[in-house]
C-alpha cells in the first residue's frame, strides 16, 4: 500500500499498488473492452461480493451514460450477480443455472463466459468451512464441471471485529463503541484460515485467484462501522481508490489476459 491516496473517515489514506507485476489501471472503458461483446460475467458470493458488483455496475453505467456507449448491464445483462453465502445457496443456484443451460435458454452460460466465486465469511470455523463448503466445491466444480465458464476465485476479505478472533466475527453480536479494530499482520495471518485452505485447493486445480485478503487486512478504517456506533466490521465503504476499485483492477487484467 502506498501512503498516498484517498483519506478515509479516520484520517488515514492509502493507494493500492501491485508488487512484482504491472497491472493496467482500472478504467470502465477498458473493462468493457476486456469483457468483449460476446461474453458474460457471473459473480457468485455474499453481501461483500454484492458490494463489489454494485460498485462495478455504477462505474460502468456512469461511463455508458457519459459516453453514449451501447451496453446491456441491467438484470442479467453482461454482469450478473448470484447471492451465495453457504453451500446450500450455491447448490440452489447451480441447479437453476444447469436447468437453463441444458434447456438451451436464451442467454445460457457459455464456455467463453467468466465466473467469479467467493464463499467464506459466513463460516465461522474451519471444520464446517472445509468439510461442508470446500469439499462440496471440489467435488462438484473442480473435479467435475458445475458450470461451463472460465472460473476465477476471489479470496475472502478480512473482518475487524474487536476481540480475540483476530478480527473474525465471533458468532454473536458484540458492541464496538470505538469502531472496528486494527490488528497486527501476525494476528490477522494467524486467523486467515479460510484463504489458506481455499487458496491451496484453487491452486491445486489451476484456478486463478483475486488476492483480496491482504488488501483488506489493514483496511479497518474502510469499514461501514469504522467510526464507531454501528458495529459493521465486515462490509466496506466504496471509497475512490479503495478496495473495490483495486479488485476491479485485478479482474480487468484477468479479463484482458483471458481475451
The pLDDT profile of the chain, 259 residues, written as one tens digit per residue, is 443 445 445 545 566 677 777 889 899 999 988 888 778 889 999 999 999 898 998 888 888 888 887 665 543 447 889 999 999 999 999 988 877 555 555 557 788 889 999 999 999 899 999 999 999 999 999 999 888 899 999 999 998 888 777 788 766 666 677 778 888 888 888 889 999 999 999 999 999 999 888 888 888 888 887 655 667 888 888 877 688 888 899 999 998 988 7
Three cell numbers at 236? 466496506
* pLDDT number for residue 172: 61
CA distance 63 to 66: 5
CA distance 88 to 93: 9
Which CATH number does the domain 23-157+183-217+236-258 belong to among 1.20.1050, 3.40.50, 1.10.155, 2.60.40? 3.40.50
Task: Tell me the C-alpha to C-alpha distance, in Å, between residue 237 and each of 54, 60, 96, 223, 240.
Answer: 12, 18, 32, 6, 9
Residues 6+ apart with CB under 8 A from 176: 161, 162, 225, 228, 231, 233
Three cell numbers at 181? 479494530
Task: Specify which residues 45 forms β-bridges with.
Answer: 83
Three cell numbers at 254? 484477468
CA distance 56 to 34: 14
Single out the residue of 205, 218, 204, 120 nearest to residue 169, CA to CA.
120
CA distance 89 to 123: 13
Strand order in the sheet with 209-210: 79-83, 41-45, 114-117, 150-154, 209-210
What is residue 81's three-state secondary structure? strand
CA distance 259 to 253: 10
Other C-beta atoms closer than 10 Å to the C-beta of 207 total 17
CA distance 66 to 49: 26
* Global pTM value: 0.86
Amino acid at each position: 500500500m502506498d501512503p498516498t491516496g484517498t483519506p478515509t473517515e479516520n484520517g488515514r489514506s492509502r493507494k493500492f499498488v501491485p508488487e512484482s507485476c504491472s497491472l493496467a489501471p482500472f478504467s470502465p472503458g477498458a473493462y468493457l473492452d476486456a469483457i468483449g461483446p460476446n461474453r458474460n460475467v457471473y459473480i457468485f458470493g455474499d453481501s461483500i461480493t454484492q458490494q463489489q458488483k454494485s460498485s462495478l455496475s455504477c462505474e460502468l453505467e456512469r461511463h455508458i451514460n457519459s459516453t453514449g456507449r451501447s451496453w446491456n448491464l441491467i438484470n442479467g445483462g453482461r454482469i450478473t450477480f448470484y447471492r451465495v453465502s453457504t453451500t446450500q445457496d450455491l447448490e440452489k443456484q447451480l441447479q437453476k443455472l444447469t436447468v437453463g443451460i441444458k434447456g438451451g435458454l436464451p442467454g445460457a452460460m457459455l464456455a467463453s463466459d467468466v465466473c467469479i466465486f467467493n464463499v467464506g465469511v459466513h463460516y465461522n470455523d474451519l471444520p464446517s468451512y472445509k468439510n461442508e463448503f470446500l469439499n462440496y466445491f471440489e467435488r462438484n466444480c473442480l473435479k467435475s464441471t458445475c458450470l461451463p465458464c472460465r472460473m476465477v476465485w476471489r479470496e475472502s476479505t478480512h473482518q475487524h471485529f474487536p476481540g480475540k478472533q483476530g478480527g473474525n466475527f465471533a458468532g454473536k453480536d458484540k458492541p464496538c463503541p470505538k469502531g472496528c479494530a486494527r490488528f497486527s499482520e501476525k494476528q490477522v495471518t494467524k486467523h486467515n484460515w479460510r484463504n489458506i485452505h481455499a487458496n491451496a485447493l484453487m491452486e491445486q486445480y489451476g484456478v486463478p485467484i483475486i488476492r483480496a485478503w491482504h488488501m483488506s487486512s489493514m483496511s479497518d478504517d474502510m469499514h461501514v462501522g469504522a467510526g464507531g456506533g454501528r458495529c459493521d466490521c465486515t462490509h466496506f465503504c466504496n471509497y475512490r481508490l479503495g478496495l473495490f476499485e483495486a479488485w476491479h483492477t485485478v479482474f480487468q487484467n484477468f479479463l484482458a489476459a483471458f481475451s
